[in-house]
Structure 1
Amino acid sequence: MVGNPDFLTGRGQDQAPEFQELESPEGELHLRFYTPSGTEFALPATGIREVLSPSPDRITPVPNVSPLLLGTLNVRGRVVWVADLGQFLGDVVPLNTDKPEISVIAIEDQDIMLGLAVDRIVGMDWLDIENVQMPTAVPDSVSPFLRGEWVMDEASQQLLRLLDQVSILRSARWAA
C-alpha cells in the first residue's frame, strides 16, 4: 500500500478530482444540558475543563456542608466538589442520584474547579453569540448566573439559557 504511487500523492480512485470546501461553523462552541426540572441550559466550551460520568459511589458525601453539594470526587488526584446545579439554580426537583452514572460538568476558572451535576447532557453545539437575547421571565434565583438566552423555536417558545460559569464558581451561595 505504501509502495503504491497513488498513496503518496493522495490521488486514488476514490478521490474527487476537485477539493471539497469545508463549511466553517458559525458562532462559538457550547455544551447543552438539562437540569432535573427539564430546563435546558448551555455553557461555553471554553469554561469547561471536562465532562465526567462517575457512578454515584465515587462521589464522597461530606457532612456539615451546604445542601447544594453532593460531595467530592477524585479527578486524577485532584479533589473536586460536586454540586447539584438544578438545586443551586433554585429547582425544587432534586437530582436523581439513584442511577448508574451521574453527568458532571467540571468548570474551571483561575485554578478553582467545581463539578456541576446535571440531569442529562445533550451534546456540543455551535451557537451564534450574536443571537443571544436578554433573559425574560427568569426566576430571581437564576438571573445572577445568566448571560442571556436563545429562542430555539418561536412557535413553542423553547429557550436555551446561557449560563456564566465564573458567576457560578464565585457565588456566595456555596457558603450557605
Structure 2
Amino acid sequence: MVGNLGLSTSSISEQSSTQLQELERPEGELHLRFYLTFGQELAFSAMAIREVLSVPPDRITPIPNTSPLLLGTLNLRGRVLWVADLGQFLGETFAVNTDRAEIPIIAVEDQETIVGLAVEQIVGMEWLDVEAIQQSTATTDSITPYLRGEWLLGDRTHQYLRLLDQKAILRSNRWAAV
C-alpha cells in the first residue's frame, strides 16, 4: 500500500533546480584557508595550489646543513618536492609541529617552480569575495611583501584572513640564503 505522501514532482524538481543554481553560482573566488603555528589564519587562491597533501614526517627526507626553513624533500610521484616551513618563512619564531602522525603541506607553483609549504592545520576551501579585499594592516615587515591583501572577519574581534601571494613567496630572495 502506497499512500499519497503529499509531495508533487514539480515541487521536488523546482527545489532541485534552485539548489543547482545556488551551487553553480558561487560568490567570489575559491581559496584554501589554513593556520600557521600560532593560530594566524591565512589563505591561498585555489589557482595557486598544485596539490594539498598530508604526509607522515618520515616521508620527508631531511637535508643536512640547510636552512631551518627547509624540512627536507618529498618524493611526489617521482618528482622531488622541497618542503619548507611556511610559518618560519613568514617570520614566526617556532617551527611547525612535526611530532605528529601527518603534516599538512600545500604545494604551490609558479611556472615550473613547485614548493611544498608545511602548515599547522588546513581549514578547507571557501568561496571568498575578492572585491572585499582590503589593503593589509600587517605590522611585521617579514610578512608584508608576501601579502595580496586581507579580509576583515569580524568588526568586534578585529580578526583578519590574510591572502598570500604564492608568486612573491616562490620568487623571494629568502630562498637564495637557503
Alignment TM-score, normalising by the size of structure 2: 0.88
Distance 2:81 2:99 in 1: 21
The answer on whether the counterparts of 1:66 and 1:175 sit within 8 Å (CA) in structure 2 is no
Q: Find the counterpart in structure 1 of residue 3 from structure 2.
A: none
Distance 2:88 2:120 in 1: 11
Q: Find the counterpart in structure 2 of residue 125 from structure 1.
A: 126
**Cα deviation digits, residues 72-99 of structure 1 (max 9, x gap):** 0010000000000000000012111000
Deviation of residue 59 (structure 1)?
Answer: 0.3
The answer on whether the counterparts of 1:66 and 1:174 sit within 8 Å (CA) in structure 2 is no
Deviation of residue 137 (structure 1)?
Answer: 3.6
Distance 1:17 1:134 in 2: 44
One of 12, 17, 32 as aligned partner of 1:16: 12
Amino acid at match of 1:47: A
Distance 2:155 2:56 in 1: 38
Deviation of residue 111 (structure 1)?
Answer: 1.2
Cα distance change of structure 1 residues 13 and 78 upon mapping to structure 2, 3 Å threshold: same
Give the number of aligned pairs: 165
For structure 2, the residue ranges without an aligned partner over 5 or more in a row are: 1-7
RMSD: 1.6
Kindly indicate which of the two structures has a greater share of residues assigned to helix.
Answer: 2
Cα distance change of structure 1 residues 17 and 51 upon mapping to structure 2, 3 Å threshold: closer
5 Å-filtered alignment, 1:98-113, equals 98-113=99-114
Q: Find the counterpart in structure 1 of residue 4 from structure 2.
A: none
Amino acid at match of 1:165: Q
Deviation of residue 38 (structure 1)?
Answer: 1.1
